[in-house]
Amino acid sequence: MSSEIDRRNRSGLLYALGAYGIWGVLPMYFVLVAPVGAVEIVAWRILFSLVVCAFLLTVTQTWSAFRAIVRQPRLVLVMGLAGLVIYANWQIFVIAAVSGHILETSLGYFINPIVTVILAVVVLHERLRAVQWAAVGISAIAVVVLAVSYGSIPWISLGIAATFGLYGLIKKQVGVKVDALTGLTLETMWLVPVASGILIFVATGAGLAIGTVSPGLVALTIASGVITAIPLLLFASAARRLTLVSIGLVQYLAPLLSFAFGTFVMHESMPAERWIGFGLVWLALIVLTIDSVHHGRASRRALPLSA
């Protein structure tokens, strides 16, 4: 039994590393396809993601599960809301990546766990432990420090954290009723009119860049569907095998990779006060993580032994 659990944990860890590793290098991908334009990139990402989802539903023979969800209007509407929120997240992220603000995208995903905690209080009316309040307070100080450093409120970071936090909250509400592939399919289906409208608007204005760039860049743009769907499926597989604490620890891989890319490859500015701001965010995450691990262990010890 223990060897089976070990294998399950190892495979779950590999799936999680794969998912967050891909998400971590997304800024590099969007820098490569920057000539297409941020707005057009996201539109193509939506359409090609839907194509990939349809292909995967066919290969895995799960269209019946998809149809079962479609027959539930409330779930369909909820997934439409999730689609709009993740569209906002994608658009902010891509605009930031192609305009030289990769560090701010990294900061957004570092802040995300704190935003998730705040949403739990505001929306779900959960009560925070003292240590969790301390983490929220430290992160608030970090935002002030970074605002001074940037000369304005870090709207990109806060926008990314807020939209992804809301997306996670919406997905939590549907729970296990909608799997990752079906959810992404519904979300992208809702966004097809948005993507089509964007492409028509761009085509009648400056013109679509995808028809004027190199074949390699066209191939990279088409691949946006794959890089959207694959990490979500890897994450879903990891979530079924790992504890939430383990997933929570691995999630920091993505912003760490983005941070390294922005700092050491793109050479974005990191003055001392910005290091202090990031350092405070990391301190808040360490506090939050330690509290989460400790509380998880205490909860398990408190469970009565089964007969």
Crossing angle for the helix pair 73-98 and 155-174, nearest 10 degrees?
160
pLDDT of residue 1: 55
User: For 102, phi and psi rounded to 5 degrees?
Assistant: -65, -35
pLDDT digits (tens, 9 = 90+) for 230-272: 888 888 788 777 776 677 778 889 999 999 999 999 999 999 9
Helix (H) or strand (E) holding 302: helix 272-302
pLDDT of residue 307: 37
Structure token pair of residue 246: 């383990």
Q: Residue 208's CB: how many other CB atoms inside 10 A?
A: 18
Residue 229, classified by CB atoms within 10 Å of its CB into exposed (0-12), middle (13-18) or buried (19+), is: buried
Of the candidate ranges 62-71, 99-108, 117-126, 188-197, the one whose mean pLDDT is the lowest: 117-126
Q: Reply yes or no on whether the pLDDT at 214 is more than 70.
A: yes
With a pLDDT cut of 90, the percent of the chain lying above it is 57
| Segment 54-67 mean pLDDT | 93
Are 292 and 143 contacting, i.e. CB atoms less than 8 angstroms apart?
A: no
Structure token pair of residue 140: 């608030």
Cα distance between residue 175 and residue 6, in whole Å: 26
Q: What is the mean pLDDT of the chain?
A: 88
With a pLDDT cut of 70, the percent of the chain lying above it is 93
pLDDT of residue 306: 42
Q: Is 271 left (phi over 0), alpha (psi -120 to 50) or beta?
A: beta
| Segment 21-43 mean pLDDT | 93
Q: Reply yes or no on whether the pLDDT at 129 is more than 60.
A: yes
Query: How many whole angstroms from its chain centre is CA 84?
Result: 14
Rg (CA), the chain: 20
Closest residue by Cα to residue 232 from 196, 200, 276, 187: 187
pLDDT of residue 171: 82
Q: Where are the domains of the chain?
A: 2-296
Query: How many whole angstroms from its chain centre is CA 233?
Result: 13
Q: How confident is the model at residue 132 (pLDDT cuts 50, 70, 90)?
A: confident
Q: Residue 244's CB: how many other CB atoms inside 10 A?
A: 10
pLDDT of residue 201: 93
